[in-house]
Chain A
Amino acid sequence: EVQLVESGGGLVQPGGSLRLSCAASGFTFNRYGMTWVRQAPGKGLEWVSAISDSGTATYYPDSVQGRFTISRDNSKNTLYLQMTSLRADDTAIYYCAKDLGPRISPWSFDLWGRGTLVTVSS
């Protein structure tokens, strides 16, 4: 089955750290760019980070640059998001997603996980 399954979310104190994982199955993981997108409660979608198929290129918005690190292990078909210096406004559901690939439409996302909830609170 083609799917993405996130894990690692939970309750963390402000200033703390958390690592999210996204396990991929059913497709050739190392051929696709991957991304993390978050959604604060009752709010819209916010792009958080992206990584190329090989892992050599990474991208971040200013809101998380220097605090979040995206990585991937293509041997384990797994995507990661290391989050540090967490703040209350990082509270959200975090989704991982796969892009359509370089031959079709890189950075358009056709497969999404169900998300994992991160709550930053004391």
Chain B
Amino acid sequence: EIVLTQSPATLSLSPGQRATLSCRASQSVSSYLAWYQQKPGQAPRLLIYDASNRATGIPARFSGSGSGTDFILTISSLEPEDFAVYYCQQRRNWPLTFGQGTRLEIK
């Protein structure tokens, strides 16, 4: 099973700042990694698929990079609505796995 480790567990930033979230895989997932955003009481929302492709309707301030074992989700300038929990997910191998999440909170 591929283990995804997200860091940091919690990130405290202010609106307007840049956020950098990390996801590290226990073995190569090539570019088969997605990022999701989840707000309290809501279902997850796909942001990025295959490491760097923005999903439909996702603002350009969200970007993804990386390949192999190391991936980054960047939010270039935080908006108030961006404070949420973010998860990565790999589809390289079965079972599909998610990271444990990074909570992005308002400082």
Q: From A7-15, A22-30, A57-65, A75-83, give the one contacting chain B.
A: A57-65
Instruction: Pick the contact of B43: A62, A106, A112 (CB < 8 A).
Output: A112
- Is A50 on the interface with B (CB-CB < 8 A)? yes
Q: How many residues of B contact A (CB 8 A)?
A: 25
Instruction: Pick the contact of A108: B38, B50, B56 (CB < 8 A).
Output: B50
Instruction: Pick the contact of B91: A46, A107, A114 (CB < 8 A).
Output: A107
Q: A95-B43, A115-B43 are in contact. Are A46 and B49 (CB under 8 A)?
A: no
Structural contact, B101 and A44, CB atoms closer than 8 A = yes
Structural contact, A105 and B53, CB atoms closer than 8 A = yes
**Which residues of B are found within 8 Å of A61, using beta-carbon distances?**
1, 95-96
Q: How many residues of A contact B (CB 8 A)?
A: 25
- Digitize A86-122: 1 where CB-to-B-CB distance is under 8 Å, 0 elsewhere: 0000000001010010001111111011110000000
Structural contact, B91 and A105, CB atoms closer than 8 A = yes
Query: What separation, in Å, do the CA atoms of A61 and B95 have in the docked complex?
Result: 5
Instruction: Pick the contact of A62: B45, B55, B95, B99 (CB < 8 A).
Output: B95
Instruction: Name the residue on A nearest B56 (C-beta).
Output: A110
Structural contact, A47 and B98, CB atoms closer than 8 A = yes
Q: What residues make up the interface of B, taking CB atoms closer than 8 Å to A? A: 1, 34, 36, 38, 42-46, 49-50, 53, 55-56, 87, 89, 91, 94-101
Q: What residues make up the interface of A, taking CB atoms closer than 8 Å to B? A: 35, 37, 44-47, 50, 59-62, 95, 97, 100, 104-110, 112-115
12 A-B residue pairs with Cβ-Cβ distance under 8 Å, sorted by A, are: A44-B98, A44-B99, A45-B36, A45-B38, A50-B96, A97-B43, A105-B50, A105-B91, A107-B96, A110-B46, A114-B43, A115-B43
